[in-house]
Amino acid sequence: MAENTESRTVKADDDLKRQIAELKRELGNLRAAIAERAQDVIGGAEGLYDSAAEQASRAAQAVRTQAGVVRDNPGTVSSAFVIGGIVGLLLGLALRTSEPPSRRWYERH
């Protein structure tokens, strides 16, 4: 009977060691899969950063170009703003209502 109990204990220990070894292998596989996914995410993030940096560089260059045009032609730019203001004033005068505004705010609506 003692041999039977001892063989069961040895068998249980062997089963436990096998299960532990299997869990360690699975844990290693999971670590490898997570590392691979992390590399994919990092690569995607780097691509987004590079794209954003390139677009920001182009936008900065466009602003510098426009600033150079304004600096080189201040009269043209100021004339354009004055003409725009006059057109806006004329449109406002043309579109205003002819009836006098109500004195009380609650009578307006």
pLDDT at 75: 86
Q: Does 103 reside within a domain?
A: no
User: Domain total for the chain?
Assistant: 1
Report whether pLDDT(1) > 60. no
Give start and end residues of each alpha helix (H) in 1-109: 2-72, 74-95
Q: Does 31 reside within a domain?
A: yes
Average pLDDT value for the chain = 84
pLDDT at 82: 93
By residue range, what is the domain housing residue 60?
A: 2-95
> What digits encode the pLDDT tens for the residues 3-49?
777 888 888 888 889 998 999 999 999 999 988 888 888 888 888 88
Q: Does 72 reside within a domain?
A: yes
pTM of the predicted structure, to 2 decimals? 0.42
SS3 43: helix
69's CB contacts (< 8 A; 6+ apart) are 77
Is the CB of residue 108 less than 8 Å from the CB of residue 102? yes
Distance CA 107, CA 20 (A): 83
